[in-house]
A and B are shown apart, each in its own frame.
Chain A
Amino acid sequence: SVQLPRHDEL
């Protein structure tokens, strides 16, 4: 499955 980019930025 497409690895969702972990939104680790504000």
Chain B
Amino acid sequence: MNIFRLLGDMCHLVAIIILFLKIWRSKSCAGISGKSQVLFALVFTTRYLDLFTSFISVYNTVMKVVFLVLAYATVYLIYLRFRSTYNSESDSFRVEFLLVPVAGLSFLENYAFAPLEILWTFSIYLESVAILPQLFMITKTGEAESITTHYLFFLGLYRALYLANWVWRYHTEGFFDQIAVVSGVVQTIFYCDFFYLYFTKVLRGSGKMTLP
């Protein structure tokens, strides 16, 4: 464990908690892409199957359970509890255009043709594109509540910190996970446009983020 990865995990946790509390307290999921949240729940489900087969550390196990519970709880809030506030017409991204290529690639490019390994690879590839329905929804509606932009900021920052973690691990322990690194770079690139708007609009105190 290193500071970059720990900070990254904390940013990830903060992002997930920000979103959950925003929906729970406002009793509304307006402007939130339910599709992205379902994809994230799928990412955690396919990645954390090793919860039952390999023990890494208490921290690792606890965080996996927390991420799984919060991810499914968020999906529950969107599609069941506050479904009347869900903008399904704005959440129109065709997720099959993500799932099919990601599933195909995870069979082609992986470390081993074994079920758990292919599912892990699927989760890595899927995570890099899982936010696209949410970003697409914001471009479609032309705006995002500031709390949603803070959620996206921490979510984007988490994987950027993981990039630093992989540089650190490469230089200190020769660790290099090519699949995770390439996907992490792609994932972080998708946030660049958002980061630009976030720093120029939201942090200027304009509250809402309205797209040009």
Residues on A facing B (Cβ under 8 Å): 2, 4-10
Instruction: Check B180 against A2 for contact (C-beta < 8 Å).
Output: no
Instruction: Check A5 against B111 for contact (C-beta < 8 Å).
Output: yes
Instruction: Check A2 against B60 for contact (C-beta < 8 Å).
Output: no
Q: In whole Å, how far is A8's beta carbon from the nearest beta carbon of chain B?
A: 5
Cα A8 to Cα B120 in complex, Å, equals: 12
Residues of chain B within 8 A (CB-CB) of A9 are 5, 162, 165, 177, 180
**A4-B117, A5-B177 known; A10+B111 contact, CB < 8 A:** no
The count of residues in chain B whose C-beta lies closer than 8 Å to any C-beta of chain A is 20
A-B contact count (CB 8 A): 26
Cα A8 to Cα B180 in complex, Å, equals: 12
If over half of A's interface residues share one DSSP class (helix, strand or loop), that class is named, otherwise mixed; here it is loop
Q: Which of B19-57 touch A at CB < 8 Å?
A: 47, 50, 54, 56
Q: In whole Å, how far is B153's beta carbon from the nearest beta carbon of chain A?
A: 19
Instruction: Check B112 against A10 for contact (C-beta < 8 Å).
Output: no
Instruction: Check B5 against A7 for contact (C-beta < 8 Å).
Output: no
The contact sample of 13 A-B pairs, CB cut-off 8 A, is A2-B111, A4-B111, A4-B114, A5-B111, A6-B56, A7-B47, A7-B120, A8-B56, A8-B60, A9-B165, A10-B9, A10-B12, A10-B64
Cα A5 to Cα B112 in complex, Å, equals: 10
